[in-house]
């Protein structure tokens, strides 16, 4: 099986974000950027499948500015074989357009398995995988917490859904989106980081694809969330219960 893993460059999850003073967005200048954590889980899963000889080749794909090459490179250091970057002016291409771009690559590369994070931690959309599966007309298994490949070229995917776990059996090719507990991504070792520098990343300008990536959603403004009023510290349990009963009236 050939696997395509899609990765996005986002503000590192440990960074406390700052809203720009002109409200046009979130400050990304001089901020530490990393691979979207859910996409890291996607890369890890593909690498584990390759180690089990279930996957023969792993392509790491990203859509974004030149700097997204670094993100692809970290995927290659984890065990990806080669990379593709669809170059756009910025990293803020909308999910529907990203799905169209990935479809273009799928038509060319014909992967059996497409794995990507369930959502990016910047825009929190949770859409790209579902849209891609729809455009390709192939099954989707979202929010995966366990994959089991069967003999007959189907995959049993356990999904984290509200109220429990659902298992579905999907045929190949398919799109899988990863949830947090699918695996714990490895740290790339220094030798593997060095080796990744030799791996090939193909650069394709977005204009070559003939896909219109004009935004459909206008971002009018971005604001800080309303802050909660500062609370008080209570002395003891009795006082806590008293406040909850008589002041907040929630007990």
Partner 1 sequence: MKILVVIEHDNKNIKQPSFSTITAANEIDSNVEAIILGKDLDKTLDSLKKSNGLKKIYAVDSEIFENPIAENLSLTISKFIDGKSFTHILSPSSTFGKNMSPKLSALLDVQQISDITKVINNETFERPIYAGNAIAKVKSNDPTKVITVRSTCFEPVKLDSNVEIEKLSLNVDKNSSINFVKYDQSKSDRPELTSAKIIISGGRGMQNGDNFKLLEGIADKLGAAMGASRAAVDAGFVPNDWQVGQTGKIVAPDLYIAVGISGAIQHIAGIKDSKYIACINKDEEAPIFNFSDYGLVGDLFDVLPKLEENL
Residue 246 near partner 1 by CB under 8 A = no
Which residues in 69-98 contact partner 1 (CB under 8 A)?
94-96
Shortest Å distance, C-beta 193 to partner 1: 26
DSSP 100-155: HHHHHHHHHH--SEEEEES--TTT----HHHHHHHHHT--EEEEEEEEEE-TTSEE
**Span of 47-55, 105-113, 187-195, 240-248 interacting with partner 1 by CB under 8 A:** 240-248
Which position among 28, 62, 88, 140 is part of the footprint of partner 1 (CB under 8 A)?
Answer: 140
Which residues in 43-72 contact partner 1 (CB under 8 A)?
none
| Closer residue to partner 1, CB minimum distance, 54 or 145 | 145
**Span of 61-69, 72-80, 190-198, 221-229 interacting with partner 1 by CB under 8 A:** 221-229
Residue 153 near partner 1 by CB under 8 A = no
Residue 212 near partner 1 by CB under 8 A = no
C-alpha dihedral sign at 200, 205, 208, 212: positive
* Cα 13 from Cα 182, distance rounded (Å): 18
CA angle 110, 156, 84 (to 5 degrees): 30
Shortest Å distance, C-beta 80 to partner 1: 24
CA angle 192, 83, 50 (to 5 degrees): 60
């Amino acid at each position: 099986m050939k696997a395509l893993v899609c990765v996005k460059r986002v503000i590192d999850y440990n960074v406390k974000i700052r809203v720009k003073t002109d409200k046009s967005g979130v400050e990304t200048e001089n901020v530490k950027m990393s691979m979207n954590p859910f996409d890291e889980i996607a890369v890890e899963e593909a690498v584990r499948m390759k180690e089990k000889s279930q996957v023969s080749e792993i392509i790491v794909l990203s859509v974004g500015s030149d700097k997204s090459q670094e993100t692809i490179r970290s995927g290659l250091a984890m065990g990806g074989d080669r990379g593709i970057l669809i170059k756009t002016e910025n990293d803020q291409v909308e999910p529907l357009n990203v799905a169209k771009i990935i479809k273009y690559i799928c038509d060319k590369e014909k992967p059996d398995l497409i794995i990507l994070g369930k959502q990016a931690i910047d825009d929190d959309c949770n859409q790209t995988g579902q849209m891609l599966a729809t455009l390709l007309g192939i099954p989707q298994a979202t929010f995966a917490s366990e994959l089991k490949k069967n003999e007959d070229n189907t995959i049993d995917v356990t999904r984290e859904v509200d109220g429990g776990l659902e298992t579905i059996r999907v045929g190949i090719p398919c799109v899988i989106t990863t949830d947090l507990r699918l695996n714990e991504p490895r740290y790339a070792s220094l030798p593997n980081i060095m080796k990744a520098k030799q791996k090939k990343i193909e650069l394709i300008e977005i204009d070559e694809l003939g896909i219109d990536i004009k935004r459909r959603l206008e971002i009018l403004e971005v604001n800080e969330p309303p802050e909660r009023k500062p609370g008080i510290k209570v002395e003891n349990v009795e006082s806590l219960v008293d406040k909850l009963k008589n002041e907040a009236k929630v007990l």
